[in-house]
């Protein structure tokens, strides 16, 4: 026979954990919660879940093994299913980053005196900075900074001192939610469910944590490092784990880099006839890689900050083209002067002069900068169109692609001018 009293005791313990501190990620609490969900009868779990909020159900679901997710959804209260299903479609929903402290709810017809009385009567801990103002159906209307209660008379209606701040759904991408918070007049962003009822708030502190994590992931992806979600510090990450995160791009791009060798081999006759071309080959390739990486970084940052959208792609490419023309022209002039003085005294085949050599290399460098900049700007936009994070267009990938195109441009232009 099952020990019913033990079940009730376990149920009460889990309830106290859920309702008081939300300390789900403590290993001991997580273990107890998983055991509770695995050992209780379906009826007991279903009754237990009926009293849980959307936020609590989300964290419970996060802790359960993937095999038990279907059972969890089957036992979850019907009014939470739609929200949970929508949350499941997002990789990083904002509900995973919200403050877990419970909030007070005041109705729109309450006055300051009623609110103060309710605060005194509330025994549980709650967020002492912010409260929700809701209508008769419990839907979100506005937010109230609790310290405002001290500045007004007890007869003043809460709706007169509350602030109407835009909200977002619990499934909204956390990075988008942070962007919404940046444009808010408060340091909190209300988070609501599909029915419009308030669930939690995204605080400025949590938003900073999200931005730090997003920036870390973007930097890792830009540098061709496979990001992970555990946030393990550098010194605590093992050597083999660092190798696993970095080797994928390095090996893949090494394979693509073979194309550079094939380009050089195909122009072997040009190098043999004019060996000085090999001297300036790294300069052209490196300059193109730097130009492409610069353009890509600027575009990724602007997209992350919401400064440009996909619909602006034509304007972006046109602007980057104009930028590249000026940069390319400046570098072409510098490279011409560099070739003219650095190669002074070098013997050249009959009919060739330093001016011709400098002009050929300067022209090749000009075209390389223009094409590399446009490619670097276009690749993040293409990644966004395909539904990928623009940051996955890693800097090493752009450098490798631009190296190949740069060598083709370099040898084609110089061969056409100097050896034709």
Q: What is the pLDDT of residues 61-83, one digit of tens each?
A: 887 777 667 778 888 888 888 88
Closest by Cα among 378, 412, 392 to 252: 392
- Considering only residues 301 and 132, tell me which one the structure prediction assigns the higher pLDDT: 132
Q: Give yes or no for residue 104 having a pLDDT over 50.
A: yes
> What gap in Å lies between CA 293 and CA 399, rounded to an integer?
7
> What gap in Å lies between CA 35 and CA 70, rounded to an integer?
17
Average pLDDT over residues 79-91: 87
Task: Assign 3 a pLDDT band (cuts: 50, 70, 90).
Answer: very low
List of domains in the chain:
4-88 (no CATH), 104-203 (3.10.580.10), 234-418 (1.10.357.20)
What pLDDT does 323 receive? 93
Task: Assign 341 a pLDDT band (cuts: 50, 70, 90).
Answer: confident
Q: What percent of the chain has pLDDT over 70?
A: 75
pLDDT in tens, 116-174: 998 888 877 777 788 899 988 889 999 888 888 888 888 899 888 888 888 889 999 88
Task: Assign 320 a pLDDT band (cuts: 50, 70, 90).
Answer: very high
- Considering only residues 172 and 245, tell me which one the structure prediction assigns the higher pLDDT: 172
- Considering only residues 316 and 225, tell me which one the structure prediction assigns the higher pLDDT: 316
Mean pLDDT score across all residues of the chain: 78
Other C-beta atoms within 10 Å of 223: how many?
Answer: 13
What pLDDT does 321 receive? 93
Average pLDDT over residues 378-407: 76
Q: Give yes or no for residue 214 having a pLDDT over 90.
A: no
Task: Assign 367 a pLDDT band (cuts: 50, 70, 90).
Answer: very high
CB-neighbour burial class of residue 118 (10 A; exposed 0-12, middle 13-18, buried 19+): middle
Most confident of 160-169, 203-212, 224-233, 337-346: 160-169
Question: Which range has the worst mean pLDDT, 57-66, 106-115, 317-326?
Answer: 57-66
Average pLDDT over residues 204-215: 78
> What gap in Å lies between CA 95 and CA 200, rounded to an integer?
8
**Sign of the Cα pseudo-torsion (291, 294, 297, 298, in order):** negative
In the numeric block, the tokens 């008379």 are attached to 153
Average pLDDT over residues 93-111: 85
What pLDDT does 14 receive? 54
Task: Assign 7 a pLDDT band (cuts: 50, 70, 90).
Answer: very low
Look up residue 16 and give its two tokens: 């106290």
What pLDDT does 371 receive? 92
């Amino acid at each position: 026979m099952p020990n019913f009293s033990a079940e009730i005791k376990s149920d009460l313990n889990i309830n106290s954990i859920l309702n008081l501190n939300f300390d789900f990620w403590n290993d001991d609490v997580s273990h107890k919660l998983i055991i509770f969900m695995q050992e209780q009868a379906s009826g007991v779990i279903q009754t237990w879940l009926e009293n849980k909020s959307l936020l609590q159900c989300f964290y419970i679901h996060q802790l359960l093994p993937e095999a038990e997710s279907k059972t969890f959804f089957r036992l979850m209260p019907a009014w939470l299913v739609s929200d949970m299903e929508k949350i499941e479609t997002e990789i990083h929903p904002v509900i995973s980053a919200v403050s877990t402290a419970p909030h007070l709810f005041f109705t729109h017809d309450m006055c300051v005196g009623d609110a103060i009385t309710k605060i005194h009567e509330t025994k549980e801990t709650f967020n002492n900075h912010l409260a929700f103002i809701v209508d008769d159906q419990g839907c979100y209307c506005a937010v109230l900074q609790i310290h405002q209660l001290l500045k007004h008379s007890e007869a003043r209606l809460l709706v007169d001192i509350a602030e109407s701040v835009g909200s977002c759904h619990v499934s909204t991408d956390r990075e988008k939610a942070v962007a919404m918070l940046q444009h808010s007049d408060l340091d909190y962003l209300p988070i609501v469910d599909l029915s419009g009822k308030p669930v939690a708030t995204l605080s400025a502190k949590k938003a900073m944590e999200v931005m730090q994590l997003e920036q870390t992931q973007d930097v890792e992806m830009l540098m061709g490092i496979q990001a992970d979600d555990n946030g393990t510090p550098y010194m605590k990450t093992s050597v083999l784990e660092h190798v696993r995160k970095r080797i994928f791009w390095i090996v893949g791009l090494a394979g693509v880099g073979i194309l550079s060798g094939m380009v050089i081999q195909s122009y072997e006759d040009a190098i043999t006839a004019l060996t000085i071309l090999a001297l300036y080959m790294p300069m052209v390739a490196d300059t193109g890689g730097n130009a492409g990486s610069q353009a890509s970084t600027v575009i990724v940052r602007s997209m992350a900050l919401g400064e440009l959208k996909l619909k602006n792609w034509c304007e972006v490419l046109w602007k980057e083209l104009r930028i590249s023309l000026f940069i390319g022209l400046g570098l072409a002039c510098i490279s011409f002067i560099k070739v003219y003085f650095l190669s002074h005294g070098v013997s050249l085949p009959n009919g060739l002069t330093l001016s011709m050599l400098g002009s050929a290399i300067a022209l090749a460098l000009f075209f390389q900068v223009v094409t590399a900049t446009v490619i670097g700007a276009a690749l993040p936009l293409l990644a966004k169109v395909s539904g990928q994070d623009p940051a996955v267009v890693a800097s090493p990938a752009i450098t490798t692609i631009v190296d190949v195109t740069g060598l083709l441009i370099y040898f084609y232009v110089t061969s056409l001018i100097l050896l034709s």
